[in-house]
Structure 1
């Protein structure tokens, strides 16, 4: 089961008939994320497998998973925002149980992302899961 913040996105998507409107919504979500500090844009935080530049900064605290992220591509920044709504604030022990592909599939993303974007999204999810496993 996804977090309430992600469920809100699912509900919002249901009201948008046109994929272009959904695409714009994802981009707007990305624009709303706070920027990642430039000092955190280092190789160790960079996600391999993404066509664009992507950095994820994982900051678990008191058993709760938190992260920030940034990309140089608007749609990828929006995908980071979706992942943020899906994972941020979960108990660390629950992060790996999230079926991200299935949850994101509820938005119809798989049909509308290029192969490169899908691979990048998969790489971000793998990084999040790996980081959570290392924290347990």
Structure 2
């Protein structure tokens, strides 16, 4: 099991609030993009042996690899992209969802995306990629819930 910097907050709801507060601090989108890039650089590197086709997230224009581990009680996601902005988007999603129970993941809608105005400022391909990432996380959580 690889170590993970997540979760950084006690609950997914607290993580979403913290993200909204951080982004509110920046006046314009050039500053917010720079912050996203900085967040992306904080993601731990993935081992090269994890960067295989089986771990690739489809639906992204950039290369994105994601590896889940854990169980219904705690799911941890390790992910990275070859694009720094996409890595920043991954960082935000993992901050909300990684290290949480499957039930908490499924009960949490990604409100932070609208709260920080992200949807309006992402290209269609990045929006699709982010949607694919969030679907993967939800799907993984559903698979881990007891039937």
State whether TM-score is above 0.5.
yes
Which stretch shifts more, 8-17 or 118-127? Answer: 8-17
Render the CA deviation track for 1:36-95: whole Å, top value 9, x for unaligned: 111111122111100010011111257112111010011100000000111012211121
* 2:126 equivalent to 1:117: yes
TM-score, with normalisation over the residues of structure 2? 0.86
Mapped to 1, the partners of 2:35 and 2:76 lie a distance apart of: 23
Partner of 1:103: 112
Mapped to 1, the partners of 2:14 and 2:139 lie a distance apart of: 23
Please tell me whether the aligned partners of residues 72 and 141 of structure 2 are also in contact (alpha carbons under 8 angstroms): no
Q: Which runs of 5+ in 2 are unaligned?
A: 1-10
Q: Which runs of 5+ in 1 are unaligned?
A: none
RMSD of aligned residue pairs (Cα, Å): 1.5
Mapped to 2, the partners of 1:99 and 1:5 lie a distance apart of: 12
* 59, 75, 85: which one aligns with 2:69: 59
Mapped to 2, the partners of 1:107 and 1:132 lie a distance apart of: 25
* 39, 49, 52: which one aligns with 1:39: 49
* 2:117 equivalent to 1:130: no
Aligned residues: 135
